[in-house]
Structure 1
Amino acid sequence: MATKPPQIAILGAGTFVRSQYIPRLSEISDLIILKAIWSRTEESARGAVEIARKHFPGVECKWGDNDLDEIIQDKSITAVAVVLAGQSQVDMSLRMLRAGKHVLQEKPAAACISELETALYNYKSIFAEVPGQPIWALAENYRFEPGFVECKKLIADLGKMMSVQVIVEGSMSSSNPYFSSSWRRNFNGGFILDMGVHFIAGLRMLVGCEVVSVSARTSHVDTTLPPPDNVSSVFHLENGCSGVFVMVVSSRSPKIMWRVVGIKGTVQIERGYQGQHGYLVTVFGEDGQSESSFFPFSGVTDELKAFINDVSQQQANKNGGQYEAEPRLSFVEGARDVAVLEAMLESGAKHGALVHVNKF
């Protein structure tokens, strides 16, 4: 007998919900039932629901505390996507988890190490003895991008790793829809943390090991952005290799690139455009020859599919023990991304002092 698709709600109705969540969920509308979209304000909720109804005619519009309580108490809603301001996501996620709902929370996992530690302690203590506990997933589409998946495979053939470079020249100018986002401007680490978790996630995925320590310099040059808006860091990996991470929040010449040099060659992945946005993956062999392939973006869709699959499997497996959820969605993975950036920001505040990365 076919299992009924899980019913989900989206908590949040901002730019990313409207531009990414609704269109991407519409691509996999056979896998889920979008029951409700909630926001703190009626205006925001109605704006998002109007877009969603083109794809999900039955979606309900919810706003305010009373409607939030209705979602919490609605047993038919088995999972929620938490897409709110970074300062309030952890509290909302834990509230939903306590109600027995599976959660996909947008990045960053939290604002700082202390919030992460408290969040994970609370999650574990709530469900310490409960089999089949609700899933707490962290949305990090870079871990699902086909370009990164392919690049990770290619790096395995490079032999001993010698050097890693991550170069990020962002484009967070007034033309960017997130430029005026008030919560990002009042967030610990500003755009460096909010944007930077993506690039650290890409780095950690590609090298296949953890960053153990960093030494960084930070600066604040563009006064239209919150401080800091630049970071240059040397990082050290647990495999013995070192590398550099350079991030400029807003550049006139945007460029985003990861490059891993091994004893048998080099692999590079760079953001690009070939009729559509994606990643150009290039392998440089021992003979000096290079070969490139282009992979269009599909990470948001793929991570949503993985989460929905986990929820469906957990439902089907309710009485048969714990289902192992997709590790790339683990909240702990998101915590490790934040930990690396917090270490860089701490080192920058200490004028380049060596800082060890907190372990999760």
Structure 2
Amino acid sequence: MASIALLGAGIFAREEHLPAIEAAPTLSLKAVYSRSRSSAEALASASRSPSTVAIYFDSPAIPGKSLDDLLQRTDIAAVDVVLPILQQPDVIRKALQAGKHVLSEKPVAGDVKGARELIAWYGGLQLQQGGRPLWGVAENWRYMESLRYAGEKVKEIGGELVTFSLSKYGSIAVGNKYLETAWRKTPSHQGGFLLDGGVHFVAGLRYLLAAAGDELVQVSGYSTLLDPKLVPVDTVHAAATTKGGRSGTVAISFGTAHKNETELEIVMTKGVVGWNPTEARIRTGTGEEEKKAFAYSSGVVAEVAAFAKAIEEGKLKALQSPEEALGDLLVLQGLLESGAGGAAVTAVGL
């Protein structure tokens, strides 16, 4: 049984990571941290056993209650970091230096430069007590049952990749719980919702392309702001090319009020796989068709369970590696940079 602390008391921490930690049979929640005392107390109160969860915070400043104090606890083996994007890297470094295993929310960092620096720093980390703690990046879409099923079907169909498409349209209404988060409403990170939310869709596309034996290497597209409250941009349309020389399309929009869809499609020489979070559709070259429905699941329970298993085994799976998360960020930042440059061809390969 590994003792873990949850760092962050925002929406995703409360609604997804807290229950996922409590669902993992080999994890024991020992502490929570948030910047403010009130939010840390609220998070602890939402746990199954509030009396056993220690509370840490930085405001107000009280001796023995800071994040640094939490990280000094020798009885806590791991932390789950679910903080605003630009706060994450410093906390990840602190936790790893303290010898804690770390699961950190996507994206791996606010930009590619910061991500590369953080990964390089981790690669050279040497602790006095020997060994190196595990660091995994949480991209829950890679643990969605429906996406994994679609990936297996791409492999089963076989053949070579012909083309692909990602189509995500939707809108963020006034009063949306995520929009009402201060750091999202007035973002300091690049891309606004396109980085925070769009990286999921990029991860899904990369997952299915990997199942087809290929990967993205360059993009060329246009970006715009359709909804003024979703600064700095909320929409990107692009052409994309793979290492194998195949081309496809990427459309991600959070500012499209009257169109709401999420659709990924992988076209192979021997068939087609279509996917959305609650359905996979398969059509083979023989004309056979299959549809499989799924109850919606965010995948967070499965990803936290995978991290718990990694702690137990002492080895992290590639799906949670910082390098895999860097691949997502490279594509997303490439889309933003290409859009800002008027469809400039932008390299996005690892």
Superposed pair shares fold, TM > 0.5: yes
Q: Which moved more, 1:124-133 or 1:176-185?
A: 124-133
Is 1:342 aligned with 2:333? yes
In the alignment, which residue of structure 2 is the partner of 1:320? Answer: none
Label 1:261 to 1:55 Cα distance change in 2 as closer, same or farther (>3 A): farther
Q: How do residues 114-129 of structure 1 correspond to structure 2 at under 5 angstroms?
A: 114-127=113-126
Q: Which of 263, 269, 289 is 1:257 aligned to?
A: 263
Structure 1, residues 223-250: CA drift from partner, whole Å, max 9, x if none?
A: 0111211100111111221110001113
TM-score, structure 2 as length reference: 0.92
Q: Which runs of at least 4 in structure 1 moved beyond 4 Å after TM superposition?
A: 128-131
TM-score, structure 1 as length reference: 0.89
Tell me the percent identity. Answer: 31
The answer to whether the 8 A contact 1:87-1:183 is kept is no
The answer to whether the 8 A contact 2:225-2:255 is kept is no
In the aligned structure 2, how far is the partner of 1:129 from the partner of 1:163? 50
In the alignment, which residue of structure 2 is the partner of 1:45? Answer: 40
Per the TM alignment, residue 131 of structure 1 is displaced from its structure 2 partner at its CA by 6.0
The answer to whether the 8 A contact 1:9-1:79 is kept is yes
In the aligned structure 2, how far is the partner of 1:181 from the partner of 1:334? 24
Per the TM alignment, residue 85 of structure 1 is displaced from its structure 2 partner at its CA by 0.7
Label 1:21 to 1:128 Cα distance change in 2 as closer, same or farther (>3 A): closer
In the aligned structure 2, how far is the partner of 1:247 from the partner of 1:267? 20
In the aligned structure 2, how far is the partner of 1:229 from the partner of 1:298? 22
In the alignment, which residue of structure 1 is the partner of 2:227? Answer: 222
SS at match of 1:250: coil
Gaps of 5+ in 2: none
SS at match of 2:108: coil
The answer to whether the 8 A contact 2:141-2:298 is kept is no
Is 1:143 aligned with 2:145? no
In the aligned structure 2, how far is the partner of 1:56 from the partner of 1:171? 36
In the aligned structure 2, how far is the partner of 1:241 from the partner of 1:358? 14
SS at match of 1:206: helix
Equivalences, count = 337
In the aligned structure 2, how far is the partner of 1:247 from the partner of 1:309? 34
In the alignment, which residue of structure 2 is the partner of 1:17? Answer: 13
Structure 1, residues 279-316: CA drift from partner, whole Å, max 9, x if none?
A: 200101223342111223151111000101111222xx
Gaps of 5+ in 1: 272-278, 315-323
Label 1:349 to 1:288 Cα distance change in 2 as closer, same or farther (>3 A): same
In the aligned structure 1, how far is the partner of 2:127 from the partner of 2:117? 15
Structure 1, residues 24-65: CA drift from partner, whole Å, max 9, x if none?
A: 22322x32110001111001101111111x356411121116
Per the TM alignment, residue 128 of structure 1 is displaced from its structure 2 partner at its CA by 9.1
Structure 1, residues 162-199: CA drift from partner, whole Å, max 9, x if none?
A: 11010001332224211122323221111111111111
In the aligned structure 1, how far is the partner of 2:19 from the partner of 2:93? 27
Is 1:178 aligned with 2:178? yes
1:23 corresponds to which letter in structure 2?
A: P
Label 1:151 to 1:283 Cα distance change in 2 as closer, same or farther (>3 A): same
The answer to whether the 8 A contact 2:226-2:255 is kept is no
